[in-house]
Amino acid sequence: MLRPNALPELLAPAGSPIALRAAIEGGADAVYFGGPAFNARLRAANFTAEELRESIALCHAHGVRAYITMNTLVTDRELPALLDAAYAAATAGADALIVADLGAAAMLRRHLPEVELHASTQMSAHSIAAAKELAALGFTRVVLARETPAPDVRRFVAEGGVETELFVHGALCVSHSGQCLFSSLVGGRSGNRGACAQPCRLPDAKGRYPLSLKDLSLARHVPALIEMGVDSLKIEGRLKAPEYVREVVATFRRLLDERRAATDGEMKALESVFSRGGFTDAYFTERISHRMLGVRSESNKRESRALAPFTDLTRRVPLDLSLTMRRGAPLSLTARVNDRTVTVTGEPPLVAERAPMDRAAVEKNLCRLGGTPYEAHTVQIDLDEGLMVPVSRLNALRRAALEALTAPALATLEKPTYVPIRAEKSAEMRPTARFAHAAQIPACAHDFFAHIYLPLAEYDGSTDGVELPPVILDHEQEGVRKALTEAAAKGAKHALVGNLGHLALAREAGLVPHGDFRLNVQNRETLAALLTLGFADILLSPELTLPQIRDMRGARDAIVYGRIPLMLLEKCAAREVGDCTACNSGYNTLTDRRGEKFPILRVAPHRNILVNSRPTVMSDRLSQLRGAGLTGGHFLFTVESADEAAHVIEAYQNGTPLAGAMRRI
């Protein structure tokens, strides 16, 4: 735990300096916020460099920790700028950086080893094994996936070996965080890079909202979270108004301090702050159903507008001051706030010629704290008679003491210069493929592809590769371990792995691990870090363009054909647009308001993936693929028949186009 035998940290969002002040007013223990770049809420007002420094100092004056968000994926050309931003945050006093890109984290560990790193929820950590891998990579805290049920949260806290941060209130993405490409591949605005357009909040062709979830609230479960030992309770809302931040933080502050669950009245009050037709705790309680869905109604909006406006921070920090003024000795001022004490010194006092200073005059000047977060609590003055000090010196001494109280620990850190990691040019690779089931595989596939993967649940021994499930919660680990052992006995030799927490399972089964696109590789640093962990090769992020792929080297490949998964859904969307019969024998389809049809495939009972309405096709652009260094290519077959798959393979063999609507890299 972060603080043994103490309450969890209450972590609040701040999308602007005024929202940060609202978080402090509400009683937050820590605040997370971002600079002008490299954070997952680029639509928030965010903080300029100067505002970031001032806000960190304000947090520290109030005894509040400041975590800076650098939780987006970055390309190779952006890594130097991210390092500069991280250095600026560290020297401004940031208590930790929240990071989503594994390569960025590796770079920061190499260049700024003093900086504490927290693994963003975008890293899709949903198991103890993932926590252990991330801890070995230098992370001290993991933001656990919001889909994790209570029993698994308990196990994660007890056995994960890192601090556990858990979302307890706010907007809930329908897709596992870090696993949503909908806004990026369909709308051109990447959620992984802070620009999500929220297509999940839009109606489908029938006016329904099958992907729009109510907001999360675990306010009813505060005692259980305390008892579990969760280190940090995180409130979502960097796009929310200061009034939202103040009210939600104040409610959870009260619940934590009183170690109790929210009452019906408090839940209603939280709804009036912001709601999409109520709240859900269904992932935590394992009561996943249609009741999780919700949209923001006009009455919800009216209630939010009725909140009393937040004007400014009224909390003051009690300050203890002690001044010693001795004849012939330097002035000495000690300032104390909570458990932090500093002492500063100045020039010796002067012998007064006419009007010596008395205690009242000295105290009056020391207590001029307007414009600061402080208010004088106790003032002790020890002075010899017949002395005086110019008021300007007293003011300077007071300012020096206050600055020392919030001085950044790493203020003198030497600025690093980014040194790119060395990456060798990748060797020639043969194409690989995955199929949803064995009946899709045409005879020609076995000669064309170096490896063919089937989902673990569908594995029948007809191919040399198995695809691990995209989500393996801790209570599912043993079942997957057994199934992998059986797959290896049937002939599987290779495993497609899409999560750090699944790597150990593949190794235990004696399978060669290959990195899936779900690892979100967008730069050489990430590629190198994963190869060091033992992956034979890696599929790059589908968000990369051909020029960005060309910038990368090493054992890597990319999806060159197929309907790329856009969402990984723990809340069954197939049931909302169809029925289980279709899901078990094939797939359901979500049709959006433009008429685009997105297949929804089953990957586990009521766990789905929603795939793109249009396949990525590059069969007539093979020279462009080779120019970007892609000599193999990965093929993703989802809803195609065996004949259709054979037609695709033939087109790529001959370099001919495929018909129909498509997406290009």
Give a yes or no: residue 571 inside a domain.
no
Tokens of 339: 């458990």
Q: What is the mean pLDDT of residues 145-155?
A: 98
- Residue closest to 80 by CA, chosen among 416, 545, 524, 520: 416
List pLDDT tens digits, range 216-256: 999 999 999 999 999 999 999 999 999 999 999 999 999 99
533: CB partners within 8 A, 6+ apart: 133, 500, 503
Residues 506 and 646 in one domain: yes
- The single-letter code of the amino acid at 550 is R
How high is the pLDDT of residue 461? Answer: 98
Judge whether 565 and 543 are in contact, CB under 8 Å.
Answer: no
List pLDDT tens digits, range 358-373: 999 999 999 999 989 9
> What is the length of the chain?
665
Residues 263 and 324 in one domain: no
Residues 83 and 168 in one domain: yes
User: Among 282, 305, 328, which residue terminates a domain?
Assistant: 305
List pLDDT tens digits, range 332-342: 999 999 889 99
Q: Residue 31 belongs to a domain with what CATH number?
A: 3.20.20.70
List pLDDT tens digits, range 528-556: 999 999 999 999 999 999 999 998 888 88
The total domain count for the chain is 3
Give a yes or no: residue 580 inside a domain.
no
Residues 331 and 292 in one domain: no
Q: What is the mean pLDDT of residues 309-316?
A: 95
How high is the pLDDT of residue 150? Answer: 98
Residues 327 and 285 in one domain: no
Q: How many Å separate Cα 74 from the centre of its chain? A: 14
Judge whether 199 and 246 are in contact, CB under 8 Å.
Answer: no
Dmax (CA) for the chain in angstroms is: 106
pLDDT at 5 over 70: no
Residues 441 and 551 in one domain: yes
Residues 525 and 650 in one domain: yes
List pLDDT tens digits, range 167-213: 999 999 999 999 999 999 999 999 999 899 999 999 999 999 999 99
Residues 231 and 328 in one domain: no
Residues 500 and 392 in one domain: no
pLDDT at 4 over 60: no
Q: In this predicted structure, which of 152-161, 261-270, 354-363 has the lowest mean pLDDT?
A: 354-363
Residues 133 and 280 in one domain: yes
3-class state of residue 323 by DSSP: strand
Give a yes or no: residue 412 inside a domain.
no
List pLDDT tens digits, range 567-610: 999 999 999 999 888 887 789 999 999 999 999 999 988 899 99
Q: Any idea what the Cα angle at residue 228 is, between residues 14 and 498, rounded to 5°?
A: 70
pLDDT at 104 over 60: yes
Q: Give pTM, 2 decimals.
A: 0.95
3-class state of residue 607 by DSSP: strand
Q: Report which DSSP code applies to 71.
A: -
Give a yes or no: residue 281 inside a domain.
yes
Cα–Cα distance list, 281 to 110, 150, 170, 214, 236 (Å): 40, 10, 11, 9, 14
Give a yes or no: residue 103 inside a domain.
yes
Contacts within 8 Å (CB) and 24+ apart, 197-200 = 199/592, 200/173, 200/174, 200/175, 200/567
User: 595, exposed or middle or buried, with CB in 10 Å at 0-12, 13-18, 19+?
Assistant: exposed
Q: Residue 636 belongs to a domain with what CATH number?
A: 3.20.20.380
How high is the pLDDT of residue 424? Answer: 72
Residues 509 and 629 in one domain: yes
Give a yes or no: residue 593 inside a domain.
no
Phi-psi region of 185 (alpha: psi -120 to 50; beta: other; left: phi over 0): alpha
DSSP annotation string for 103-118: HHHHHHHHH-TTS-EE
- The single-letter code of the amino acid at 236 is E
To which residue do tokens 């590796």 refer? 106
Residues 152 and 260 in one domain: yes
Q: What range does the domain containing 289 cover?
A: 9-172+213-305
Q: What is the mean pLDDT of residues 91-113?
A: 97
How high is the pLDDT of residue 343? Answer: 97
Give a yes or no: residue 463 inside a domain.
yes
pLDDT at 659 over 70: yes
Give a yes or no: residue 332 inside a domain.
yes
Q: What is the mean pLDDT of residues 313-323?
A: 96
User: Among 277, 305, 333, which residue terminates a domain?
Assistant: 305
Please state, rounded to an integer, the average pLDDT across all residues of the chain.
95
Half-sphere exposure of 105 (CA within 13 A, CB side): 32
Grade residue 657 by pLDDT with cuts at 50, 70 and 90: very high
Residue 37: count other Cβ atoms within 10 Å of its Cβ: 16
Angle in degrees, 0-180, between the axes of helices 49-61 and 17-26, rounded to the nearest 10? 10
